[in-house]
Amino acid sequence: MTTTHTLEAPGVRLYYEVRGSGPLLLLTGSPMGAAMFGPLADALAGDFTVVTHDPRGISGSRLDDPEQDSTPDLRAADLVALLDALGAESADVFGSSGGAVTGLALVASHPGRVRTLVAHEPPLLDLLPDAAERHAATEDIVETFHRDGAGAAWVKFMIAAGFDVPEEASGPPGEPTEQDLADNARFFSHELRGTTHYVPDVAALKAASSRVVVGVGADSKGLVTYRTSLAIADLLGTEPAEFPGEHGGFLGQPNEFAEALRKIL
């Protein structure tokens, strides 16, 4: 059974879901919300109390100020608020993409609240030798969104990330809903820059009591996030853990992905 909840945190009303029983496990993304983590959460609910949520400004998590930018530190504070609302001193955390960056910020600022963080393919562009070029591509994506709309911006985003994109591609399949349009605007206008410009505090991460595991997709080797994941794992002096699929492997293979995550935890 899945229960739905909201909580008031500074500047935001957060939407979250709870399912399963056992040790507490938070699944977090950016901009990916609770709905996309549903199949993975269901696959893990037999062993964990799994909490998913909509990050601030996305879908059901409404901001007091819609123009406020989203940063990993703000999103980390939201996870602390979630833990407090759940009456939990600590939890395991799985973060995907921008959510992996949120998890790194959480461990750096609140290490006592995280037992194990699995940071799956965080887009830490500043760790790459071609960081300036990558940030320029991000600026072009944002400008494309404001000029040509979300479809064109998503195509450029996927190409910049390293995915094979058909020439005739015009954005994600299907007709976007009103919420999709709002979430796209939030991501490109207020979230993408803050996430990709985040520089992890490696000293704090290494000194933390939390265990930090960097995850990479078995099929992600051509992606920028594979390179950033290897870079942060190297700085932490750890070996990355391999997961099924590519950047969003848990979407297509939730059961296999859950098994890999279960073994780490």
10-residue mean pLDDT profile of the chain (265 residues): values are 95 97 98 97 98 97 96 98 97 98 98 97 98 98 97 95 80 79 96 98 98 98 98 98 97 98 97
> Domain range holding 149?
131-190
**pLDDT number for residue 245:** 97
> Quick one: 94 and 34 in the same domain?
yes
**pLDDT number for residue 19:** 98
Which of the 8 DSSP states describes residue 23?
S
> Quick one: 102 and 151 in the same domain?
no
Q: Write the CB contacts of 174 (distance below 8 Å, at least 6 apart in sequence).
A: none
> Quick one: 98 and 136 in the same domain?
no
> Quick one: 18 and 93 in the same domain?
yes
pTM of the complete model: 0.96
CA distance 33 to 31: 6
**pLDDT number for residue 175:** 79
Amino acid at 229: S
> Quick one: 53 and 184 in the same domain?
no
**pLDDT number for residue 170:** 59
Give the CATH number for residue 66. 3.40.50.1820
Percent helix / strand / coil, the chain, rounded to 5 = 45, 20, 35
> Quick one: 112 and 168 in the same domain?
no
Supply 101's token pair: 């960056």
Supply 175's token pair: 């007709």
> Quick one: 224 and 93 in the same domain?
yes
CA distance 98 to 121: 8
**pLDDT number for residue 258:** 98
> Quick one: 98 and 34 in the same domain?
yes
> Quick one: 254 and 228 in the same domain?
yes
> Quick one: 149 and 233 in the same domain?
no
DSSP string, 82-125: HHHHTT-S-EEEEEETHHHHHHHHHHHH-GGGEEEEEEES---G
> Quick one: 249 and 138 in the same domain?
no
**pLDDT number for residue 165:** 85
Dump strand ranges (E) for the chain. 2-9, 12-20, 24-28, 49-53, 62-63, 91-96, 114-120, 211-217, 241-243
Count up the domains in the chain and report the number: 2
> Quick one: 122 and 225 in the same domain?
yes
